[in-house]
Amino acid sequence: MSLLVVGSVAIDTLESPHGKAPDVLGGAATYFAVAASFFTPVQLVAVVGEDFPKHEIEWLRSRKIDLAGLEIQKGKSLRWTGRYHEDMNVRDTLSFEANVFESFSPDLPAAYRDTPFVFLANIAPKLQARVLDQVKSPKLVAADTMNFYIEGARADLDALLRRVPLLMINDEEARMISGERNMVLAARKILGMGPKSVMIKRGEYGVIYFSGDTIFSVPAYPLEQVFDPTGAGDTFAGGVMGYLASCGAVTPANLRKAIVYGSVVASFTVEQFSLERLRTLTREEIEARYRQFVSLTSFDVP
Amino acid sequence: MSLLVVGSVAIDTLESPHGKAPDVLGGAATYFAVAASFFTPVQLVAVVGEDFPKHEIEWLRSRKIDLAGLEIQKGKSLRWTGRYHEDMNVRDTLSFEANVFESFSPDLPAAYRDTPFVFLANIAPKLQARVLDQVKSPKLVAADTMNFYIEGARADLDALLRRVPLLMINDEEARMISGERNMVLAARKILGMGPKSVMIKRGEYGVIYFSGDTIFSVPAYPLEQVFDPTGAGDTFAGGVMGYLASCGAVTPANLRKAIVYGSVVASFTVEQFSLERLRTLTREEIEARYRQFVSLTSFDVP
Please report, as a single letter, which amino acid is at residue A133.
D
Q: Under an 8 A CB cutoff, do B253 and A87 touch?
A: no
Q: Under an 8 A CB cutoff, do A257 and B182 touch?
A: no
**What was the pLDDT predicted at B18?**
87
List chain A residues with CB under 8 Å of B287.
302
Measured CA to CA, the distance from residue A79 to residue A74 in angstroms comes to 15
Q: Under an 8 A CB cutoff, do A259 and B202 touch?
A: no
pLDDT digit string, tens, across residues B31-58: 999 999 999 999 999 999 999 999 999 9
Mean per-residue pLDDT for B144-152? Answer: 96
> Going by DSSP bridges, is the β-strand pair A19-26/A10-16 parallel, antiparallel, or unpaired?
antiparallel
In this prediction the pTM is 0.96
Measured in angstroms, the CA of A286 and the nearest CA of chain B are apart by: 11
Q: Nearest by CB to B205, which of A205, A257, A295?
A: A205
- Sorting pLDDT into bands at 50, 70 and 90, what band is A90? confident
Mean per-residue pLDDT for B93-121? Answer: 95
List chain B residues with CB under 8 Å of A216.
296-297, 299
Mean per-residue pLDDT for B70-86? Answer: 94
**What was the pLDDT predicted at B211?**
98
**What was the pLDDT predicted at B239?**
98
List chain A residues with CB under 8 Å of B224.
182, 184-185, 188
Helix axes of A252-269 and A28-36: crossing angle, nearest 10 degrees: 120
Give the least confident one: A89-93, A113-117, B54-58, B104-108: A89-93
Does pLDDT of A89 surpass 80?
Answer: no
**What was the pLDDT predicted at B301?**
92
CA A251 to chain centre: 21
- Sorting pLDDT into bands at 50, 70 and 90, what band is A185? very high
Q: Under an 8 A CB cutoff, do A184 and B224 touch?
A: yes
Query: What number of C-beta contacts closer than 8 Å exist between A and B?
Result: 100
- What number is the ipTM of this complex? 0.94
pLDDT digit string, tens, across residues A74-85: 999 999 999 998
Helix axes of B125-134 and B154-161: crossing angle, nearest 10 degrees: 30
**What was the pLDDT predicted at B91?**
85
- Sorting pLDDT into bands at 50, 70 and 90, what band is A88? confident
Q: Nearest by CB to A256, which of B205, B256, B300?
A: B300
Mean per-residue pLDDT for A164-174? Answer: 97
In the annotation, is A234 catalytic?
yes
Does pLDDT of A87 surpass 80?
Answer: no
pLDDT digit string, tens, across residues B247-301: 999 999 999 999 999 999 999 999 999 999 999 999 999 999 999 999 999 999 9
- Sorting pLDDT into bands at 50, 70 and 90, what band is B86? confident
End-to-end CA gap in chain B: 39
Measured in angstroms, the CA of B189 and the nearest CA of chain A are apart by: 12
**Are residues A206 and A264 in contact, defined by beta-carbon separation less than 8 angstroms?**
no
